[in-house]
Amino acid sequence: MKIRPFWVLAHRYAGLAMTVFLIIVGLTGSLLAFYRELEQAINPQLHIEANGRPPLDMMTLIENAERLAPQARADSVWLNPGAADISVSPRRNPVTGQAYELDYTQLILNPYSGEELGRRSWGDISQGLTNLMPFVYKLHYALALDEWGGWILGITALVWTLDCFVGFYLTLPAAKRHLPPEETNSLSQQAAANRSFWQRWRPAWLVKWRGSNYRINFDLHRAGGLWLWMVLLIFAWSSVFMNLGDTVYKTVMQAVSEFHQPWTEIPDLQKPLQNPAIGWREAYRIGQQAMDRAAIEQGFQVEAPMGMWLNRAKGFYVYNVRSSADIQDKFGQTKVVIDANSGEAKMLLLPSGQYNGNTVTTWLMALHMGNVFGLPYRIFVCILGLAIVMLSVTGLVIWLKKRRAKAFHDNRHMQRQLR
């Protein structure tokens, strides 16, 4: 059996299976490259200019949120430019033991005064334009289908990663045929037999703009995939981390590198933590102290607090800061993990320079989210999303053309047999 026809079929049907999903993530990804700018343009009421004011500390913001929404409990706080985002979940009624019903999952506060700017059920498009960009994010991450959508896109990302290698292989020129001298009696045959590997591969990198519409479509698909191959692989594999991070990604990365994440290494509790023994303010104090000690011991500088969140399923807080170990343009991924019952600082995770697997992952996520190399790279990410759509559509056109040609050939063959 010839190997190349097999991989042609594998590439064709893998591409067909991914087409709709890649078109969705390509279009939404183009928008997400400018998430903050679009979110602020759509919801200017949810953003406040600093005007030189420092933000309140995160614990004051959490306490304000729980005062403003007494039926809700805070699960995380994030300091963003011009807004503090507090994600919440329902408290239980102390009399009935039942959870209160909430029509919001997020409170947005003025980070400089603690006043409420708005509340919404993050990503629920039925609440109107206020949720447009969060809905785009949910489409991109999980098709707005929560866990099922995450699995679908995770499997798609894994197939995409493998198909990157198949597609690259299919662009390579076929092996030279070593013809005997008596069969290379023409100059063209001799020239073809003597061409180097690069001379035979070079057409795969080019688009023949004066060719037929089908030839241009085919060249765009093949050359586009080649020129963008490395960045497509980066985006495909980082998508595996986003959706299959605690299974496939962890298994592969731990096999080839040092890779640590609390949500893959700390087991779930028997029941999600409702009332941790260590409260927010105490966990914040412990996190600050642990981070300051780590900065001295590890030789990095803490620049600004970014956020804090509580993982109730596993029973730990995560205190996030931006530090000199961060590589992203904005925000920060320097973390201390604190046990929510004992107050023990269980884990320090630096975005770079600590574990090589974590450093690679930090770079993958920064590149995927357009959060490195400034505005030029974000523009590139925006264009790349459209390029992914182009590659998906041109691949579909190639399949349709071949399918029609096969149907025409089969029909002609049948007519000959009937004569």
- At 189 the pLDDT is 54
The CATH classification of domain 265-354, taken from the options 1.10.3470, 3.30.450, 3.10.450, 3.40.50: 3.10.450
Task: Give tens-digit pLDDT for 288-321.
Answer: 999 999 999 999 999 999 999 999 999 999 999 9
Task: With beta carbons less than 8 A apart as the criterion, state whether 79 and 57 touch.
Answer: no
Task: With beta carbons less than 8 A apart as the criterion, state whether 388 and 232 touch.
Answer: yes
- At 263 the pLDDT is 87
* Helix (H) / strand (E) containing 348: strand 345-349
SS3 of 44-108: the string is: HHHCCCCCCCCCCCHHHHHHHHHHHCCCEEEEEEEEECCEEEEEEEECECCCCCCECCCCCCEEE
* Cα(119)–Cα(90) distance, integer angstroms: 14
Beta-ladder partners of 72: 90
- At 405 the pLDDT is 76
Look at residue 382 and tell me whether its pLDDT is greater than 90.
yes
Closest CA to 362 of 274, 264, 277, 260: 260
What's the burial of 370, exposed, middle or buried (CB within 10 Å: 0-12/13-18/19+)?
Answer: buried
- At 51 the pLDDT is 86
For helices 229-244 and 213-227, the axis angle rounded to 10 degrees is: 70
Binned at pLDDT 50, 70 and 90, residue 187 comes out as: low
Task: Give tens-digit pLDDT for 57-109.
Answer: 999 999 999 999 999 999 999 999 899 999 999 998 888 888 899 999 999 99
State CA 21 to chain mean position distance: 14
What average pLDDT does the chain have? 92
Place of tokens 């007519």: 415
For 138, phi then psi, to 5°, come to -65, -35
Binned at pLDDT 50, 70 and 90, residue 269 comes out as: very high
pTM more than 0.85: yes
For 72, phi then psi, to 5°, come to -115, 155
